[in-house]
Amino acid sequence: MTVATREHDPSGAGGEQSLGGDGRDLSANPPHGGPPPAGGGGESEFEFHTGANRPTGVPDAIEFIGVHKSFGSNHVLRGLNMGLPEGQISMIIGPSGTGKSVCIKHIVGLLYPDEGDVIVQGQSIPSLPDAELFEMRKKFGVLFQDGALFGSMNLYDNVAFPLRQHTEKSEEEIAEVVNRRMREVGLGDAGEKMPNELSGGMRKRAGFARSLVLDPEIVLFDEPDSGLDPVRTALLCELIKEVHEENGGTYVVITHDIMSARRVAEHISVLWRGRIVESGPAAELFDSENPFVRQFLSGESQGPLGME
Amino acid sequence: MVRNAAERAFLPTRNLLEEIGDMMILTGRTITSALRPPYPYGGEFVSQFLFALRLCWFPLLISTVAICYAAPGLQAANFLTIFGALDRLGGIFVLAAIREIGPNVTAIVLAGVAGTAITADLGARKIREELDALQVLGVDPVKNLVVPRFLALMLVTGLFNVYAILFGLFGGVLAELVNGQPLGPFWDTLFANASTTDLWGSALKTTIFGAIIAIVCCYKGMTASGGAEGVGRAVNQAVVVTFLAIFSFDYVYTQMLLATHPNILVIK
A156–chain B Cβ distance below 8 A for any pair: no
Q: Please tell me the CATH code under which domain A3-139+216-298 is placed.
A: 3.40.50.300
Q: For residue range A139-184, what is the model confidence (pLDDT) as tens digits?
A: 888 988 888 888 888 999 999 988 888 888 888 999 998 998 888 8
Q: For residue range A7-19, what is the model confidence (pLDDT) as tens digits?
A: 333 343 333 333 3
For chain A, the maximum distance between any two Cα atoms, rounded to a whole number of angstroms, is 67
A208–chain B Cβ distance below 8 A for any pair: no
**Res B1 pLDDT > 80:** no
Q: How many CB atoms lie within 10 A of CB A188?
A: 12
Are residues B138 and A165, on separate chains, in Cβ contact within 8 Å?
yes
Closest residue by Cα to residue B208 from B63, B19, B31, B66: B31
Nearest CA in chain A to B129: A148
The answer for residues whose C-beta is within 8 angstroms of residue A286's C-beta and 6 or more apart is A262, A297
A105–chain B Cβ distance below 8 A for any pair: yes
The amino acid present at A227, given as its one-letter code, is G
Q: Which residue has the higher pLDDT, B119 or A255?
A: B119
Please report the ipTM that was assigned to this predicted complex. Answer: 0.72
Q: For residue range A261-299, what is the model confidence (pLDDT) as tens digits?
A: 888 888 988 888 888 888 888 888 888 888 888 888 777
Q: Average pLDDT for residues B25-31, to the nearest whole number?
A: 95
Are residues B136 and A166, on separate chains, in Cβ contact within 8 Å?
no
Nearest CA in chain A to B130: A148
Q: ∠ CA B246-B114-B257 to the nearest 5 degrees?
A: 25
**Res A44 pLDDT > 80:** no
Residue B233 to residues B89, B128, B208, B226, Cα–Cα distance (Å): 42, 16, 25, 9
Q: Among the ranges A43-57, A226-240, B42-56, which has the highest mean pLDDT value?
A: B42-56
DSSP A147: -
Are residues B137 and A134, on separate chains, in Cβ contact within 8 Å?
no
Are residues B125 and A146, on separate chains, in Cβ contact within 8 Å?
no
- Distance of alpha carbon A69 from alpha carbon A31, whole angstroms: 17
- Distance of alpha carbon A302 from alpha carbon A84, whole angstroms: 29
pLDDT value of position A301: 74
**Res A35 pLDDT > 50:** no
Q: What is the three-class DSSP state of B201?
A: helix
Q: For residue range A115-135, what is the model confidence (pLDDT) as tens digits?
A: 999 999 888 998 988 888 888
- Distance of alpha carbon A113 from alpha carbon A77, whole angstroms: 9
pLDDT band at A308 (very low <50, low <70, confident <90, very high): low
pLDDT value of position B115: 96
pLDDT band at A40 (very low <50, low <70, confident <90, very high): very low
A161–chain B Cβ distance below 8 A for any pair: yes
